[in-house]
Amino acid sequence: MQVILIGFMGSGKTTIGQLLARTLATNHIDLDEFIMQKAQQSITEIFATKGETYFRQLEQLYLKQTLKLPGVLSTGGGTPIIAPNAALLAHSKIPIVWLSTNIQTTFQRIQNDTSRPLVNDLDTTALIKLQKKRNPLYQALANIIIPTDELTPQQIVAQIQRQL
């Protein structure tokens, strides 16, 4: 069983990924975690010392590897935005679930988080712009779309299960 979760920062990809994997009795793979383990550095450190371009190279390399593993894959918010990654995801034939969130939800969840370099580096207007720019790309890739704002994690997982 394989499922891919996509969505903006703060959309719940990691939380829902863990819960969905438990419910489906399969593994959970978090791409950011996978990158951190391989690089032996936090995402913030990778961005700070080697830059975003280098991070995106690692992300592409490890996306290829993690797509071969069984289980639920939680991607990073920017993973499907890079064209080669979008192609890898689309050609994988694995169901892709977009956890969609409105801008308020995003901000409530990410504003005080220092572990996300883009949240530290961008102001509110730039983050809103980024989400607006990315949403059509998430939508185009997704086979299943879950508007998550009003739902509990359990309800989100139940909706995904029903649509798989």
Interface positions with ligand S3P (CB under 6 A): 9, 13, 32, 43, 76-78, 116-118
Q: Are 15 and 101 in contact (CB under 8 A)?
A: no
**Least CB distance to ligand S3P at residue 129 (A):** 13
Nearest approach, Cβ of 136 to ligand S3P (angstroms)? 15
Residues ≥6 apart with Cβ < 8 Å to 146: 97, 98, 99, 100, 156, 159, 160
- By beta-carbon proximity to ligand S3P, the closer residue of 104 and 114 is 114
Tokens of 114: 């220092």
Q: Are 43 and 55 in contact (CB under 8 A)?
A: yes
* Beta carbon of residue 99, minimum distance to ligand S3P (angstroms, whole number): 10
Closest approach of Cβ 159 to ligand S3P, in Å? 20
CB of 10 to ligand S3P, least distance (A): 7
Closer residue to ligand S3P in complex, CB, 2/106:
106
- Comparing CB distances to ligand S3P, the nearer of 80 and 162 is 80
Q: Which amino acid is at 58?
A: L
Closest CA to 11 of 122, 125, 160: 160
Find out whether 56 and 117 touch, Cβ atoms under 8 Å: no
Identify which of 33, 83, 94, 95 has the alpha carbon closest to the alpha carbon of residue 56: 83
Nearer to ligand S3P, 25 or 39 (CB): 39
Quick one: 80 or 160, whose CB is closer to ligand S3P? 80
| Residue 20 φ then ψ, to 5° | -65, -40
